[in-house]
Structure 1
Amino acid sequence: MSVKFDDKLPIYTQVVNIIKKQIVSGELKGGDKLSSVRGLSTSLKVNPNTIQRAYQELERQELTFTQRGMGTFVTKDEDKIISLRKEMANNIVEYFFKEMNELGFKSEDIKNIVVHKIEKGDN
């Protein structure tokens, strides 16, 4: 897995976000086992402590759970995953509207652009 990390955000936060996207997109399903700390740190070329911190954060957010000696697994709680999906979608939409407003677009303009994009089928 090749990832280009952003210098503006802690790497562990970016790892958390990568795993959240994998969960929300269905790439990782409820009950799936995550890569080992060592395995993921090798594939991402980051310190194992960084991966461990990311896994701890995911567990704190109740998106994963650890079974001693077995590994770390994605939560089986579908409501939690649905909630995460909605939260991530809302964050993207809020960012989009903020940026569009800063460019001078009004709500009606934004709506027309989005509708046109959907109707055109370029999504």
Structure 2
Amino acid sequence: MARGDLEPGTQLPTVRQLAVDLSINPNTVIRAYRQMEIEGLLETHQGSGTFVGDRKPDIDAIERQRMLDQIITEMLARASSYGLSFEDVLTGLQQRKERSL
């Protein structure tokens, strides 16, 4: 969406389908969809699905997302080299967040 690859009105995969496609927990997809809906990037229509919204992310948000993607990619590659799964990393991040609160 940030790069403009998805046009407004494009229907997104269901939570279940995206979770299967990415091999992640459906709750992760739900949280991501919910956050993007709060930011106005997505619109959810009960019974119809989730769609790309009309709002465009600002350039700073795009740059932050690019940097975050790079950090995550590097972190997951390193974790994988130690035999850790995506879920292991996610659990570790959640535990770290709880300790920080």
Greater relative CO, 1 or 2 (CA 8 Å, sep 6+): 2
Q: Which runs of 5+ in 2 are unaligned?
A: 68-101
Please tell me whether residue 66 in structure 1 is matched to residue 44 in structure 2. yes
Q: CA deviation at 1:26?
A: 2.0
Partner of 2:83: none
Please tell me whether residue 87 in structure 1 is matched to residue 65 in structure 2. no
Residues 90-117 of structure 1: CA distance to partner in whole angstroms, max 9, x if unpaired? Answer: 548xx7xxxxxxxxxxxxxxxxxxxxxx
Matching residue's letter, 1:26: G
Q: Separation in 2 of the partners of 1:24 and 1:56?
A: 17
Please tell me whether residue 45 in structure 1 is matched to residue 2 in structure 2. no
Percent sequence identity over aligned pairs: 35
Taking structure 2 as the reference length, the TM-score comes to 0.58
Any conservation in 1 of the 2:2–2:62 contact (CA below 8 Å)? no
Aligned-residue RMSD, C-alpha: 1.9
Larger radius of gyration: 1
**Aligned residue among 33, 40, 64 for 2:11:** 33
Q: Separation in 2 of the partners of 1:26 and 1:89?
A: 11
Count of paired positions:
66
Q: Which runs of 5+ in 1 are unaligned?
A: 1-22, 96-123
Q: Separation in 1 of the partners of 2:30 and 2:62?
A: 26
Inter-CA distance 89–66: structure 2 relative to 1 (3 Å threshold): closer
